[in-house]
Amino acid sequence: MNRALPEASAVSPASAQAAPSMVLSIRDLSKRYNTTEALRGLSLDVAAGEFVVLLGPSGAGKSTVFRCVTGLTRPSSGLIDVHDHPMHQLSGQALRLARRDIGLIFQQFNLVGRLSALDNVLAGRLGYVAAWRVALRRFPRSDRQAALANLDRVGLLQQAYQRADSLSGGQQQRVAIARVLTQQSKLLLADEPVSSLDPEAANITLRLLRQLCREQGIGVLCSLHQVELARQFADRIVGMRAGKVVLDGPPKRFSPNELGALYHDAHSTPSADSPRIPSGN
């Protein structure tokens, strides 16, 4: 709902410098699998329009953070707020509705290869339309127009009716980004989104994510292993080891050696993501 802005004279200095709204707030998050502590008192914020990169070795706990934020696994303790949804305590219909505000981008794109790019983008509306429309792929005209507009926004309008599995890896990842835009997500979780892409496609994808993050006011939490890409594209870098945040700040605060040290002797730290989570939890 659009609201009229107050008159300039009514805006106080304090309100003019108000902090941006948070789309993700995590406080004292812990997760234990039997004797393994996957997360240990982790706290993290992501603001609207902010591009935050999670760095850390395999087993640092990055995937566990994503699973807790989306409600795929329940934390042992702590609070998770996504756009005013208490994800740490939701279940059933309330959890399904809250997930509409969370867009997901994966390493392997998670597209249906036999369907067109347009049909894959329309999957972003699954939480909003009746089941029969989904089964018959008869989405409202407004949804189809929005999906086409978002394909245009990521530079793939001409490929709208092309099978997804005929597209290049970089194009498929851009289809996934258009799907998130069509979902109208407030928070985007990108789990190693460029690890399977060549350097040029990786740069295009991250540049697009950062641009849309700022233009659309979407908060982005993106896990990466590539230190240089994190330094180039992140507004903020959060470094993790053994389930804890060990550094947090703008890229210019950290040298390449400081960030690279996150990965030194990683084999000697306990694996935070190694426990298997039973299907359906």
Residue 236: CB partners within 8 Å, gap ≥ 6? 50, 51, 52, 53, 248, 249, 250, 251
DSSP bridge pairs for 51: 220
Residue 213 inside a domain? The answer is yes
- Cα–Cα distance, 202 to 168 (Å, whole number): 12
Average per-residue pLDDT for the chain: 87
Q: What confidence score (pLDDT) does residue 16 get?
A: 43
161-181 pLDDT, tens digit each: 999 999 999 999 999 999 999
Residue 9 inside a domain? The answer is no
Ordered alpha helix ranges (H), the chain: 13-16, 62-69, 92-98, 117-122, 131-136, 141-153, 169-183, 199-216, 227-233, 256-260
Q: What confidence score (pLDDT) does residue 134 get?
A: 72
Q: What confidence score (pLDDT) does residue 265 get?
A: 61
The residue behind tokens 């509306």 is 125
HEC-encoded secondary structure of 151-168: HHHCCCHHHCCCEHHHCC
Q: What confidence score (pLDDT) does residue 126 get?
A: 87
Q: Are 127 and 97 in contact (CB under 8 A)?
A: yes
Domain residue limits at 103: 22-58+67-79+95-268
Residue 139 inside a domain? The answer is yes
User: DSSP assignment of 191-234, as one string?
Assistant: ESTTTTS-HHHHHHHHHHHHHHHHHHT-EEEEEES-HHHHHHH-
Residue 167 inside a domain? The answer is yes
224-270 pLDDT, tens digit each: 989 999 999 999 999 999 999 999 999 999 998 999 999 886 544 44
Residue 280 inside a domain? The answer is no
Q: What confidence score (pLDDT) does residue 18 get?
A: 52
Residue 271 has pLDDT above 50, yes or no: no
What is the DSSP pairing of strand 85-86 with strand 77-82? antiparallel
Provide, rounded to the nearest whole percent, the portion of the chain with pLDDT above 90: 74
Q: What confidence score (pLDDT) does residue 148 get?
A: 97
Q: Say whether 65 sits in a helix, a strand or coil.
A: helix
Residue 49 inside a domain? The answer is yes
The CATH number of the domain where 139 resides is what? 3.40.50.300
31-67 pLDDT, tens digit each: 999 889 999 999 999 999 999 999 999 899 999 999 9
Q: Provide the pLDDT confidence category of residue 132 given band limits of 50, 70 and 90.
A: confident
Q: Among 126, 178, 171, 177, which residue's Cα sits nearest to residue 151?
A: 178
148-165 pLDDT, tens digit each: 999 999 999 999 999 999
Residue 8 inside a domain? The answer is no
pTM: 0.84
Q: Provide the pLDDT confidence category of residue 8 given band limits of 50, 70 and 90.
A: very low
* Count of structural domains within the chain: 1
Q: Cα dist. 256→53, 91, 115 in Å?
A: 15, 41, 42
Q: What confidence score (pLDDT) does residue 239 get?
A: 96
Residue 199 inside a domain? The answer is yes
